[in-house]
């Protein structure tokens, strides 16, 4: 017997979704009514029935972190109680974020729920998260997440079905009260999509001829996807994929693919035994880091190289419609867009801002400095997609990653780039720093610092070119006459204190000065960033915790 129960609940404060969904400590999500309140708020805003009263269809999956399996059962019972007709779930409640986006689109569903805190560590003492994606497969826009947030503060009840767990290990159709639950292979459709975009025969031939690679899934969700695509379909040797079993605590790893957290991969790629190509991906599979033998590819450069060479892959042979990047991402991609004569767009941080551009056919490839790149094949950033596009480019150009980068910089000049993160700062101190910085904006133009002159300074605001919606307060930008730039932002994905992100950029037109160490090349910009914001004075910090 199944029966809908309506549970009285009190509004829970502080459920404001950030850059990408709602993230909290796992214990908070597991607290009384917390997950339920947020899920009910999602369903109240998007509705589980359409205007004709027909039940809607959603996709559900997550990155496999601790509480993923329990949360999935709660969400299913709540979807059933709220009138949804069908939920498509990845086997074991597993779906990478890009695979979820693809399933939403492939099945023309009414959206989906993704259980993930992305690159944040997982486990009982770490983080959990829930995000809602729209029928186009992309993250809910600010208007929708704001409505969900408002709803959490007025909610007085939620609906849940009293029922046994659905066997999510068993692929096939299950019944949950009046609702159908279709458990699907989380990998197959996604792998097929990749096969439709990239030249798999050429990639198979490249691996067969001895090309070597290391794919580090950091014990997070991309493991099964990487094994199926790289080892099974493309014939990469067994063991190419490491840390390929998703674990509830990610094996204690911090699944953020950057040189700090993917250190084992970096060490291998800079060792004498380095394979030809290395890559890592994050908790939910939407981010990527690519590394060549002895050479690190900064995400901003990766976006630019992918944009410049995408036409070498079958899925993009007709060329790109435009390139979009988040504001803090370097302008390297803009130079490619200019050379190709296609549109270029600069959006606030967060993938949700790319959705309209992709839907409207204004941009084909998008990227963020935070190791996220993707295209119009889904509406999320996509880690394995970026890895496969790189592989496709390597297969066609038959050059090393290092040579491709060198040629790219020689052609376009080089945007030296780095991000410095100052983590777990007291919120009040971070707020004071920003208040002072914002207060000083008008006085900055003309100011000399480190031998550079400030040309302009503002707080980035964005008007969506498709729907006209305006997003303000998206980060402080300081531009210099020599083309250098500093951006300051507070993270919207952390769960402890505040994280100050400082983004640093300097352009070298070449041919001289193209092969400096990035931190060296940026040294004056870094010093200027400390001076202008008084980082040490406000926070007591003199050096960043993470440098990418
Ligand atoms: C970070 C990144 C941002 C990215 C977001 C979600 O946000 O900077 O570029 O879109 O994470 O990515 P923030 O607000 O902490 O800077 V993911 O892989 O966590 O979905
Ligand atoms: Co992610």
What contacts 32, CB < 8 A, 6 or more positions away? Answer: none
Pairing status of strand 485-490 against strand 476-480: antiparallel
Q: What is the dihedral of CA 513, 514, 518, 524, to 10 degrees?
A: 30
Catalytic residue among 41, 96, 101, 118: 118
**To test the ligand 1 pocket, which listed residue (116, 131, 286, 350) has its Cβ within 8 A of the most ligand atoms?**
350
**Ligand 1, residues 372, 373, 496: which to mutate, most atoms within 8 A of Cβ?**
372
**Residues 217, 253: Cα–Cα separation, whole Å:** 10
Query: Quick count: other Cβ atoms within 10 Å of Cβ 339?
Result: 12
Residue listed under structure tokens 């990749």: 194
Residue 70 has pLDDT above 90, yes or no: yes
Average pLDDT over residues 225-232: 98
With beta carbons less than 8 A apart as the criterion, state whether 481 and 450 touch: no
Average pLDDT over residues 323-337: 97
Whether residue 268 contacts residue 212, with contact meaning beta carbons closer than 8 Å, is answered with no
Residue 373: count other Cβ atoms within 10 Å of its Cβ.
30
**DSSP of 83-99:** T--EEEEEEEEE--HHH
* Ligand 1 near 287 CB (within 6 A): yes
For 143-155, write each residue's pLDDT tens digit. 899 999 999 889 9
Q: Does the pLDDT at position 30 exceed 90?
A: yes
Residue 354 has a pLDDT of 95
Query: Given pLDDT bands bounded at 50, 70 and 90, which one contains residue 14?
Result: low
Number of Cβ within a 10 Å radius of residue 12: 18
Distant-in-sequence, close-in-space partners of 512: CB < 8 Å, separation ≥ 6: none
**Closest listed residue to residue 130, CA positions, set 222, 67, 217:** 67
- Please check the confidence at residue 344 and state whether its pLDDT lies above 60: yes
Predicted pLDDT of residue 234:
98
Q: Could you say which ligand is closest to the alpha carbon of residue 489?
A: 1
Mean pLDDT value of segment 288-307: 97
User: Residue 415: what pLDDT?
Assistant: 95
Angle at the Cα of 251 (from 248 to 254), degrees rounded to 5? 95
Instruction: Determine the pLDDT at residue 13.
Output: 65
Taking ligand 2, which is a single-atom ion, which protein residues have CB atoms under 5 Å away?
A: 118, 282, 284, 286-287
Per-residue three-class SS string for 145-171: HHHHHHHHCCCCEEEEEECCCCCCCCC
pLDDT band at 495 (very low <50, low <70, confident <90, very high): confident
Q: What is the largest CA-CA distance in the chain?
A: 75
Token pair recorded at residue 291: 């590394």
Per-residue pLDDT, averaged over 468-474, amounts to: 92
Average pLDDT over residues 4-26: 78
Q: For the range 340-346, what are the long-range contacts, defined as Cβ-Cβ under 8 Å and sequence gap of 24 or more?
A: 340/307, 340/308, 345/465, 346/462
The answer to whether the CB of 380 is under 6 A from ligand 1 is no
Secondary structure (H, E, C), 170-185: CCEEEEECCEEEEEEC
Measured between alpha carbons, how far is residue 341 from residues 60, 334, 337, 345 in Å? 40, 10, 6, 13
pLDDT at 513: 78
Best probe residue, ligand 1, of 493, 496, 502, 545 (max atoms within 8 Å of C-beta): 493
Spacing, Cα 286 to ligand 1 middle (Å): 10
1 pLDDT exceeds 60? Answer: no
Q: What are phi and psi of 503, to 5 degrees?
A: -105, 130
Q: Which residues contact 411 (CB under 8 A, 6 or more apart)?
A: 339
HEC profile for 195-263?
A: HHHCCHHHHHHHHHCCCCEEEECCCCCHHHHHHHHHHHHCCCCCCCEECCCCCCCHHHCCCCCCCCCCH
When pLDDT is cut at 50, 70 and 90, the band that residue 210 belongs to is very high
Q: What are the contacts of 143-147 at 24+ separation with CB within 8 A?
A: 143/469, 144/45, 144/46, 145/17, 145/21, 147/45
pLDDT digits (tens, 9 = 90+) for 88-111: 999 999 999 999 999 999 999 999
Please give the pLDDT value at position 192: 98
Q: What is the pLDDT of residue 515?
A: 87
Task: Assess whether 118 carries a catalytic annotation.
Answer: yes
In the chain, the domains with their CATH numbers are 3-184 (3.40.120.10), 190-412 (3.40.120.10), 414-547 (3.30.310.50)
Residues 6+ apart with CB under 8 A from 118: 20, 23, 63, 97, 129, 282, 283, 284, 286, 287, 493
pTM of the model: 0.93
Task: State the pLDDT confidence band at 393, using cuts at 50, 70 and 90.
Answer: very high
CB 75 within 8 A of CB 58: no
The pLDDT assigned to 235 comes to 98
pLDDT category at 12 given cuts 50, 70, 90 is confident
Percent of all residues in the chain with a pLDDT value above 70, rounded to a whole number? 99
Residue-level pLDDT at 54: 97
* Angle separating helix axes 34-46 and 68-81, nearest 10 degrees: 40
> What is the rounded CA–CA span in Å between residue 455 and residue 164?
63
Beta bridge partners of 230: none
pLDDT at 541 > cutoff 90 = yes
- What are 301-313's pLDDT values in tens digits? 999 999 999 999 9
What per-residue confidence (pLDDT) applies to 5?
85
Top pLDDT among 19 and 111 is at 111
Find all residues with CB under 8 Å of 386, minimum gap 6, and list them: 279, 288, 290, 302, 306, 373, 374
Separate counts of helices (H) and strands (E) for the chain: 18, 27
- CA 438/CA 434 separation, integer angstroms: 6
Q: Is 90 exceeded by the pLDDT of residue 514?
A: no
Q: Binning pLDDT at 50, 70 and 90, where does residue 398 land?
A: very high
The whole-number pLDDT of residue 3 equals 84
Separation between Cα atoms, residue 521 and residue 514, nearest integer Å: 9
Length of the chain: 548
What residue ranges in 431-539 does DSSP mark as E strands?
448-449, 452-459, 462-463, 470-471, 476-480, 485-490, 498-508
Tell whether the model's pLDDT for residue 49 goes beyond 90: yes
Task: Return the closest-CA partner of residue 191 out of 222, 219, 212, 213.
Answer: 222
- Residue 15 is predicted with a pLDDT of 67
Rg (CA), the chain: 23
Nearest atom in ligand 1 to the alpha carbon of residue 494 is: 15
At CA 258, angle to CA 255 and CA 259, rounded to 5? 125
């Amino acid at each position: 017997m199944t029966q809908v129960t309506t549970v009285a609940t009190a509004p829970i404060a502080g459920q404001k979704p950030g850059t990408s969904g709602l993230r909290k400590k796992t214990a908070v999500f597991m607290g009384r009514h917390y997950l339920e309140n947020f899920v009910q708020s999602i369903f109240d805003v998007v509705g589980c029935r359409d205007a004709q009263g027909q039940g809607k269809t959603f996709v559900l999956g997550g990155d496999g972190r601790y509480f993923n399996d329990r949360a999935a059962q709660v969400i299913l019972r709540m979807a059933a109680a709220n009138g949804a007709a069908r939920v498509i779930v990845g086997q074991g409640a597993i779906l990478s974020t890009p695979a979820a986006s693809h399933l939403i689109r492939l099945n023309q569903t009414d959206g989906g729920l993704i259980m993930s805190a992305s690159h944040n560590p997982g486990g009982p003492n770490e983080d959990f998260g829930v995000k809602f994606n729209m029928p186009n497969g992309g993250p809910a826009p600010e208007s929708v997440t704001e409505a969900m947030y408002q709803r959490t503060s007025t909610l007085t009840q939620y609906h849940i079905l009293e029922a046994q767990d659905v066997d999510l290990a068993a692929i096939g159709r299950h019944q949950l009260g009046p609702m159908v639950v279709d458990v699907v292979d989380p990998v197959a459709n996604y792998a097929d999509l990749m096969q439709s975009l990239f030249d798999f025969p050429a990639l198979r031939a490249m691996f067969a001829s001895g090309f070597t690679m290391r794919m580090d899934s950091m014990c997070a969700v991309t493991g099964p996807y990487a094994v199926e695509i790289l080892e099974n379909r493309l014939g990469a040797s067994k063991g190419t994929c490491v840390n390929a079993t998703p674990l509830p605590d990610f094996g204690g790893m911090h699944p953020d693919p950057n040189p700090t957290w993917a250190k084992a991969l970096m060490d291998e790629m800079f060792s004498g035994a380095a394979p030809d190509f290395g890559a890592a991906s994050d908790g939910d599979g939407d981010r990527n880091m690519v590394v060549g033998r002895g050479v690190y590819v900064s995400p901003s450069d990766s976006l630019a190289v992918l944009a410049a060479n995408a036409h070498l892959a079958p899925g993009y042979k007709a060329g790109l419609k435009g390139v979009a990047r988040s504001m803090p991402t370097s302008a390297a991609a803009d130079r490619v867009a200019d050379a190709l004569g296609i549109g270029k767009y600069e959006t606030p941080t967060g993938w949700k801002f790319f959705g309209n551009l992709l839907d409207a056919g204004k941009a084909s490839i998008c990227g963020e400095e935070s190791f996220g790149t993707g295209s119009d094949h889904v509406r999320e950033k996509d880690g394995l997609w970026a890895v496969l596009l790189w592989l496709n480019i390597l297969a066609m150009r038959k050059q090393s990653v290092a040579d491709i980068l060198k040629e790219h910089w020689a052609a376009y000049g080089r945007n030296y780039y780095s991000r410095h993160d100052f983590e777990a700062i007291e919120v009040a101190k971070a707020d004071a720093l920003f208040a002072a910085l914002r207060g000083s904006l008008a006085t900055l133009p003309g100011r000399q610092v480190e031998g550079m002159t400030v040309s302009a300074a503002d707080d980035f605001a964005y008007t969506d070119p498709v729907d006209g919606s305006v997003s303000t307060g998206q980060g402080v930008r300081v531009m210099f006459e020599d083309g250098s730039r500093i951006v300051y932002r507070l993270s919207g994905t952390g769960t402890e204190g505040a994280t100050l992100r400082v983004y640093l950029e300097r352009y070298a037109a070449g041919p001289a000065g193209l092969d400096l160490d990035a931190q060296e090349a940026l040294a004056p910009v870094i010093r200027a960033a400390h001076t202008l914001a008084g980082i040490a004075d406000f926070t007591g910090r003199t050096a960043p915790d993470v440098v990418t």
